[in-house]
Structure 1
């Protein structure tokens, strides 16, 4: 993909196909940003993925903590119902969610694109299982000292949850960045397109332009690849610790 993105137009269609470009150039990338406005779509994806990650953490971490450490009526029944919903394919809920957002006037807006990421059941489950490993005695001591639940969550629980928070953030960011179906459904204005949707729209007109499409794929893949490599230590730590303590 990277090699073809630097090839001249039509070079990848030769037989046998070359492994490396004869004269590497940036023409495909210039065309993407100058002629097709990929810079705007890149900014759209970055905005949506960043907001989705922050909002997911804001809602998911307190919910997971509450299901693990707070006692309230119907807690276990509600959690079992949420876990059972994990087996329902997400595509089934897209139509009723779209109709609901349409009634709320959120179609063709970033708010509508963000709604499915606000409180994912898997994220709540992940945080809850990790919180179960926190000793109750530590939390009780903080309550005796007069700390509120918000203070306990912020000052005690969050530092302990750092590996799982990074893991969850990566899951949400990668999922929202690569998401194609929901943005395609909810966003009708081309100026609001995210990178996967914009690349698919572009491919309909340039399906034979392999070099240009590979350049678009590099632009779509490279940011999340760099992010994953930078945070993989926390990501693997969160998965391994969660698997042992959960």
Structure 2
């Protein structure tokens, strides 16, 4: 005789029946995991395919944009790179991009961290209205402030210098927003305990808050560097000397009105995108962790 003792509304027979059906669940989970992997692989192929075509074109003697698309260089060569370096000062443009993007990124990360700390952990009058006003500026297109921003830079006598590109990008509203959301997740008790021990506000920021912001710093660095490295419109407006041009501006010289040298263009584009790809691969763990932990509160 089988016992039918009730157990929280279920009999022993019902519990055994559910236990017998349980092995089917891992199979469904395995199928779901397989479908997610297949979907991720398909998305990765779609995203990587343009980069692969660019790589093949850069190292091919001819153009990959012909009647038959070639997915592998028939005659691998470096002629496209040598032709670009011989015709244009690509080395100087690359150095300019590194200098401008590096200085702007350092300033942008510093302003974002300090601004986010002020909005998240400091108490001062008008903090919420000022933060909302700051967020409202994100709805203004960059093209709408292009003329007044140029007049401001021109009045300061910075047109034609690197500072005309660096200073407007030193403060990013989105970076301050990200920093504020990240720092809101840090327990306020840590800050209050440090102040009870006699630590000043700069000491609290440097010794308590900043060591906890490594994922945030990685996110802010990559975002600021990527934006400044790829910026085209504003440097084109304020930089007049071709010797001060950055790589995005230099790319326009390889696009003709009637004919475009795709091999040289893809070679220079590869030089412009390779540093960002390498940085993302190196710091992707911190980047994903920073995005995942931003905005928990």
Please confirm whether the aligned pair reaches a TM-score higher than 0.5, indicating the same fold.
yes
The alpha carbon displacement at 1:140 in A equals 1.1
Task: Say whether 1:3 aligns with 2:56.
Answer: yes
Report the alpha carbon displacement of residue 16 of structure 1 after superposing the two structures with TM: 2.0
Determine which structure has more spread, i.e. the larger CA radius of gyration: 2
**What's the counterpart of residue 160 of structure 2?**
108
C-alpha separation in 1, matches of 2:115 and 2:154: 27
For residue 262 of structure 2, the aligned residue among 210, 220, 227 is 210
Between 1 and 2, higher relative CO (CA 8 Å, sep ≥ 6) is seen in: 1
Q: 1:41 — aligned with what? A: 93
Shift of 1:206: 8.7
- 8 Å CA contact 1:28–1:215 kept in 2: the answer is yes
For residues 1-56 of structure 1, the C-alpha deviation after alignment (integer angstroms, 9 at most, x for no partner) is: 11111111x44354324332221110111122232121111111111111111001
**1:132 has 2:184 as partner:** yes
Give the alignment partner of residue 188 of structure 1, picking from 220, 240, 243: 240
RMSD over aligned CA atoms reads 1.5
Q: CA deviation at 1:123?
A: 0.7
Q: Distance in 2 between matches of 1:230 and 1:81?
A: 36
Give the aligned partner of residue 231 of structure 2: 179
1:206 and 1:213 in contact (8 A); partners too: no
Match of residue 62 from structure 1: 114
Query: How does the TM-score come out when normalised to structure 2?
Result: 0.79
SS of corresponding position for 1:54:
helix
Q: Does 1:74 pair with 2:126? A: yes
1:235 matched to 2:287: yes
Give, in whole Å, the separation in 2 of the partners of 1:219 and 1:207. 22
2 CA distance for matches of 1:204 and 1:44? Answer: 24
Alignment-derived partner of residue 142 in structure 2 = 90
List runs of 5+ in structure 2 lacking aligned partners: 1-53
Q: How many residues align?
A: 244
Work out the CA distance in 2 between the residues paired with 1:141 and 1:12.
63
Q: Alpha-carbon deviation of 1:122?
A: 0.7
| Secondary structure at 2:294 match in 1 | helix
Distance in 1 separating the partners of 2:144 and 2:209: 35
**CA 1:216–1:30: 2 relative to 1, 3 Å:** same
Structure 1: gaps of 5 or more residues: none
SS in 1 for 2:270: helix
Counterpart-to-counterpart distance in 2, 1:242 and 1:14? 46
Match of 2:18 in 1: none
Q: Which residue number in structure 1 is paired with residue 84 of structure 2?
A: 32
1:205-242 per-position Cα deviation (integer Å, ceiling 9, x unaligned): 79421111111111111111111111111000000111
